Structure 1
Amino acid sequence: MAAKKEIEDVKVDERNKSLGRHLGTTIRQLRLEHNLTIADVSERAGISRGMLSKIENSLAATSLETLEQLANALGVTLSKLFQNYNLPRGAAQLVKKGEGMEVVRRGTRVGHTYQLLAYDQGPHKTFEPFLISLEDSCEEFPAFEHPGTEFIHMLEGTLEYRVGKDTFVLNKGDSLTFQGEIPHRPENLIETPIKFLAIIHYDAPDKENFEE
């Protein structure tokens, strides 16, 4: 029990230090953005310059009352000081222009490229966004079938696209959504070069199968 309490105390201490660093950095940034000196803010907040300096450098803990006084001195709300604290990191994935991973799919030929713009890092795919470029107006395509829902948005050119028995003429700015299980393919490349986004959204895995 004593060891467990000691571990919990360490975790609480680490969280307090992390929050102290965040508050200190935020207060300093806001002060500098407003072109205020430590003397200016400490006078407005009614605390000593030494205490403000310690708070900014996370060398001293402070009360909510003092934080509210500092927020008022900086012309912001109290919640502003906590706004970006403890946000999840690593949740964003940047793919720069032209750096999408080129993938080969059935029917891929010269002048017909698929660039995958995001990569799922978990055990199950949730979606796949492709940037597709087509240049050869004589190219013929096999029918594609896959799980999930597909969304297409035209960026350039004009394309006739078949979904099941229906065909749709897509111009720049047009969008098309359909179930991936229905056979689909580009039917006719009317005006090349053609570029479009194709985003496939997969259904969540069955919970019972996932647990197995």
Structure 2
Amino acid sequence: MEQYKEIAPRLVGVREGIGWTPKEMADLLGVTEEKVLAFESGTMEIPVGYLLDVSRLCRVDLTTLISGREPHLKSYSLVRRNEGFSVDRRKDYDYKSLGYKFAGREMEPFLIEVPPKSGEDMTETAHRGQEFIYVLEGRLEVRLGGEPIIVEPGDSLYFNSETPHALRGLDGKPVRFLDVIL
């Protein structure tokens, strides 16, 4: 089962626990009521940006929304190699949360692997906040507001996440990078 089908009831529970209607939630998040209902129904893939917006607005930890488990560490969190929490939020990206054990995070660090794909297959997303990308392996194309930017190993890119953006690996190879969302 896709993970967004497991996340959907938690979104409903958070909204209803606060006492908001889907329309009130939509207005507060700056999205349509139809989108809120689609995400809450479990019939549509839920972007990480939407989950971040809900977690911030409702003061619920992102780990809790995604996994149903509460993070518990408050002074530090060590995540060993290959132990990041898998966030299966997109079929074409491999997300590993690197801060999932820490309660009260003010940023969301991820290790992400993006496959190569054609420019036509890139899917744009936008969400509140800022984002920092640091490429570890491979070459990454970030289409930022329609402009292609090539980011290579050792390069970093910091941008406003409200700018529509899409990613893909280049040269027929996947790309691995650190992504921090604030």
Report the TM range for the smaller structure's normalisation.
0.5 to 0.7
Residue type at the aligned position of 2:103: Q
Give the Cα separation in 2 of the matches to 1:153 and 1:116. 15
Residue type at the aligned position of 1:142: T
3-state SS, counterpart of residue 137 of structure 2: strand
Q: Residues 130 and 199 of structure 1 are in contact (CA less than 8 Å); yes or no, is this contact kept in structure 2?
A: yes
Give the counterpart of 1:91 among 57, 70, 75: 75
User: TM-score scaled to structure 1, two decimals?
Assistant: 0.46
Distance change in 2, residues 1:136/1:189 (3 Å): closer
Give the counterpart of 1:179 among 155, 160, 163: 160
Give the Cα separation in 2 of the matches to 1:193 and 1:165. 21
Q: Does 1:193 align with 2:177?
A: no
Correspondence for 2:96: 115
Correspondence for 2:55: none
Correspondence for 1:167: 148
CA offset at residue 190 of structure 1?
Answer: 1.3
Residue type at the aligned position of 1:144: T
Correspondence for 1:141: 122
Residue type at the aligned position of 1:153: Y
CA offset at residue 165 of structure 1?
Answer: 2.8
Correspondence for 1:157: 138
Give the Cα separation in 1 of the matches to 2:158 and 2:87. 22
Give the Cα separation in 1 of the matches to 2:137 and 2:144. 20
Extract structure 1 runs of 4+ deviating beyond 3 A. 135-139
Q: Residues 135 and 176 of structure 2 are in contact (CA less than 8 Å); yes or no, is this contact kept in structure 1?
A: yes
Residue type at the aligned position of 2:181: I
Q: Residues 160 and 170 of structure 1 are in contact (CA less than 8 Å); yes or no, is this contact kept in structure 2?
A: yes
Q: Residues 138 and 189 of structure 1 are in contact (CA less than 8 Å); yes or no, is this contact kept in structure 2?
A: no
Residue type at the aligned position of 2:107: F
Q: For the aligned residues, what is the CA RMSD?
A: 2.1
Give the Cα separation in 1 of the matches to 2:165 and 2:118. 18
CA offset at residue 164 of structure 1?
Answer: 0.6
CA offset at residue 135 of structure 1?
Answer: 3.2
Give the Cα separation in 1 of the matches to 2:128 and 2:115. 27
User: TM-score scaled to structure 2, two decimals?
Assistant: 0.53
Report percent identity of matched pairs.
36
Question: Structure 1, unaligned stretches of length 5 or more?
Answer: 1-88, 202-212
Q: Does 1:129 align with 2:109?
A: yes
CA offset at residue 189 of structure 1?
Answer: 2.3
